[in-house]
Chains A and B, each alone.
Chain A
Amino acid sequence: MTIEAITLGGERMQLNMGPHHPATHGVLRIRVESDGEIVSSCIPDHGYLHRSIEKIGECIEWPMFVPYTDRVDYVCAMNANLAYCVAVEKLLNTDPATAVVVPRRAECIRVLVAELNRISSHLIAVGAMAMDVGAYTPFLHGIAQREHVNDIFEKLCGQRLTYNYVTVGGVAFDLHETASEEIASFLDQFEKEMVRFNKLITTNTIFRDRCANLAVVTAAEAIAWGLVGPNLRGSGVDWDLRRDEPYGLYGELGVRVPKGERYAGRKGAVGDCYDRYIVRLLEIQESVRLCREVLKLLPPAAAKANDPIGGHQADVSKVLKRPPKGFVHCRTEAPRGEMGYFLVSDGTKVPYRVRVRTGSFSAAGIFHKVMRGIFLADVVAVIGSFDVVVPEIDR
C-alpha cells in the first residue's frame, strides 16, 4: 500500500489504496480523501485488469468464448460458463430450426457444479471479508474446504480453477464414476466444518460489531444503484433469479432465498455489511441442500452423449455455425449477482457483440456513496462485504 500524504488543510489527507494492496480483491485502486480517520471521499479507479474480453468475444467463434467466461469471474467459473451457455442456448432457441434441448442429466450436472462452485465462491467471499477485518484463521478454513471442491472438479474436468466445463448444449464430460459419493461425503463433512467456521467468526462479538450498521444500503437504493445478488438480498429485497425466473433445473428445485433482516440485532440495520455476510452464509447452506436434492434427481448415464435423458451434451456444432440473426438478453444467478449476457448475432459463427453485465460492476459503482463518513479501517470491510472481484468489474 503506497501512501502519499498530502495535507490539504487541517488534517485532511489523500491516500492511495492500491492497485496493489493486501486485501485480496484484486487490482482495485481507490483514491481516498480522509479527514484524520474519517473518510470524506472515496473514488475508485478501474481498468487495471481490463483484458478486453468483450472485444475478444467479437473475434472468436461462439464455443471458443467459454474459456474466457472463466476469466470473467474465476472464483465461480462454473457459474460464469453456465451464464454464457444458457444465453447462447436462449439465442438458439429463438428459432425453432436451431433449437437446442439440453439433456436432463446435463441439466442436473450443471446445477450440481454451479452450486458447488457457489459454495466455494462464497467461502472465499466470507473468508476474505473476515481476513480484511483482521481474522486470518477463517480464511484458511475456507481455503481448505475449497480444496475439497477443487479435487472433485479436477477429477471431473482436469482443472482446479478455470474449468471450461459447461458448454453450449450441456457439459463437456460426464461425471466420473465416484462423483456422487465424493460429493455426498464432501457435503457431510462440510456441514460439520461450517458449524466450526461459524463458531470462529460469525458469532464473534468483535466481528459483528465491526460490521453492524456499516455501509447501510436501503432496498430502494440497492435497486436504483443496480445492485444484484447477495448485495441486493442483503438490503432486504426478496429476488433471486433461480426462484423467480428459473432456468435449467432450478424451476423444479424450489430455491429458498435468504434476505437481509437486520441479523446484527439492535446494533445493526437492514442492508449493513453484516446482513450481506449472513446472506452469503445462508446461501451456502441452501446450496448444500440443492446439491443433495440434485444428487437424488440425477438420471443414469446413457451410452450416447446426446441422449435427451442420460446424455451430457447435445450436438450443437452445426447450429453454432449458423445461429439465428438477432439478439438476446439472458441473465442467470451467479454468486456475485446476476450475470446478464446481451448477445448480438449476425448469423455467422462469430458473435457480433458479447456483452457481460456483472454484479461487481454495479457494486463498485456504489462505493463512492456508501464509503463517506466511515472510518478508514472500515473501507476494506465494506469492499469485502460487497464481494467484488476485479475481473468482473474490468472484464
Chain B
Amino acid sequence: MAVADLPKPGNDPHEQIVLTAVDEFLAWGKENSLFYLLFATACCGIELMQAGGPRYDVDRLGMIPRATPRQADLMIVAGTITHKMAGVVRTLWEQMTEPRWVVSMGSCANSGGPFSKWSYSVLNGVDKYVPVDVYIPGCPPRPEALIDGVMALRERVRRYRTMGVRDRDPHVVQGADCRFGSHPGKPEPQA
C-alpha cells in the first residue's frame, strides 16, 4: 500500500498501527529529504539561491544544499555548461552516491539556451554528459518553476525501489503559456 492511501488513524487502536514495506518507507524518506548539490554555474544559480532563500525556501521541502557530491542525492545543474566545465560535471555526477537524480535547470543546461547557435564554447545541453531526470525550461526559471520541477521529481523518487527498474524517461516541466498575460503589450486570453 502506498503511504498516501493509508487511512488516517483514529481512536481505534487497530487503526493506529501502520504497516508498510520498508522500501516504500525509505522512498518516502528520500523524497522528503533530497539534499541537492550546490552546483550553480551562471544566472540560474542566483535563482537557485533565491529558491533556497527566505521567500521560496526549499528547506521546507527537506532540501538542503550540500557542497560535496558524496552527501547529495540530487544535482541541480543550474547554469551554462561549457565544454571546459563538462568533464567536471561528469566527475561530480560520478562522485555522487546512488541513488542520484539530475535536474537540468534553465535553457542553457537543457539545450544550450541563448548560446546554442552562436557560441563555440558552450555545451548544447548537459544531458550529453549526465542522464537528466527533469528538464525545467526558463531563462532563468522562476523559483516556483524550480519547485514545480522538484515536485515532479519527488513523484519519481517516491516510486524508487531498491531492487526495481529505474525510471529513465525524462520529464519536462511544462512552462506557462507566455502568449497571454497582464504584461503591457500582450493580448488578453480569448475567453
Contact = CB atoms under 8 A, between A and B. Distances in A.
A51 B38 CA distance: 21
A71 B41 CA distance: 12
Given A1-B67, A48-B84, A143 B53 contact: yes
Contacts of A22: 38, 67
Interface of A, secondary structure class, is: loop
A75 interface: yes
Given A52-B122, A144-B55, A162 B39 contact: no
Contacts of B115: 51-52, 56
B118 A1 contact: no
B121 A52 contact: yes
Contacts of B38: 22
A147 B55 contact: yes
Q: Which bucket holds chain B's interface residue count? A: 35 or more
B46 interface: yes
A51 B122 contact: yes
Contacts of A51: 42, 80, 82, 115, 119, 121-122
A55 B140 contact: no
Contacts of B54: 140, 143-144, 147
Contacts of A19: 85, 88
Contacts of A347: none
A28 B38 CA distance: 14
Interface residues of A, number: 38
A75 B88 contact: no
Contact of B140 (A26, A48, A161): A161
B68 A50 contact: no
A50 B84 contact: yes
Contacts of B96: none
Interface string A286-317: 00000000000000000000000000000000
Contacts of A56: 115, 118-119
A56 B189 CA distance: 35
Nearest to A48: B85
A352 interface: no
A20 B183 CA distance: 38
Interface in B52-95: 53-55, 67-68, 79-80, 82, 84-85, 88, 92
26 contacts: A20-B39, A20-B88, A22-B67, A48-B41, A49-B42, A49-B79, A49-B80, A49-B82, A50-B82, A51-B82, A52-B119, A52-B120, A55-B118, A55-B120, A59-B118, A71-B42, A71-B114, A74-B42, A124-B46, A143-B49, A144-B55, A158-B183, A161-B43, A161-B140, A162-B139, A391-B43
Interface of A: 1, 19-22, 24, 26-27, 47-52, 55-56, 59-60, 67-68, 70-71, 74-75, 124, 140, 143-144, 146-147, 150, 158, 160-162, 173-174, 391
Those 7 A-B pairs whose CB atoms lie nearest each other, nearest first? A22-B67, A143-B53, A74-B43, A52-B119, A56-B118, A48-B85, A144-B54
